[in-house]
Structures are given as structure tokens and as C-alpha cells.
Amino acid sequence: MISQEPTLAAHESLEIHEALNFKTLCLAKSKLMQGLVFDQELKDLMEKDVQQSIQAIADLQALYVKAPFQAPVPEFRPTPILN
């Protein structure tokens, strides 16, 4: 008996791909906006969002390997414009 890794259906793969795109965009926006914010409480909240987005992207990438078709997911993380 051959053991086969479960794969996602096409629509599930597309949903995960869309979620990855969305979370990547959210991560980039939060990282970039951190340089423009002066309120420390808001900066802390944005940093928390960045950390949660990084974790969500990692979780989605783990699911995405089960897709029957894939597009490459970039390995780099955006950095803020201003420190």
C-alpha cells in the first residue's frame, strides 16, 4: 500500500494563496508605517501585528506545501523605511 501525502483541492490552494498575499501585504504595510508613527503605544501595537503576521505567514506556508500547484513565496521580510 502506497502512502500518499494529502493535497489540497484547487479552490483551497487558491484561498491559501490569496491569504498569503494578503498577510504579506499587511506585514509590509505595518513594517513600513512603523517608521512614520511617533506614539509608542501604537508602535508597540504595530510590532505585535508584525510578529503575528510573520507567524500567520509561516503557518500558511506550511499548509501551502500541500497545494497541487504552487507559486514561489519570497523568503525576505520588508524593513521599515525609517528607524
Could you list the residue range(s) of the whole structural domain that residue 54 is in?
A: 10-64
Is 78 contained in some domain? Answer: no
Question: What pTM did the predictor assign?
Answer: 0.69
Flag whether pLDDT at 82 surpasses 70.
no
Residues 6+ apart with CB under 8 A from 57: 20, 23, 24, 27
Taking the C-alpha atoms of residue 80 and residue 83, their distance in angstroms, rounded to an integer, is 7
Counted domains in the chain: 1
Do residues 70 and 64 make contact, with C-beta atoms less than 8 angstroms apart? yes
Predicted confidence (pLDDT) per residue in 21-47, tens digit: 999 999 999 998 988 999 999 999 999
Q: Which long-range contacts (CB under 8 A, 24 or more apart) does 47-55 make?
A: 53/23, 53/26, 53/27, 54/27
Q: Tell me, yes or no, whether 75 lies in a domain.
A: no
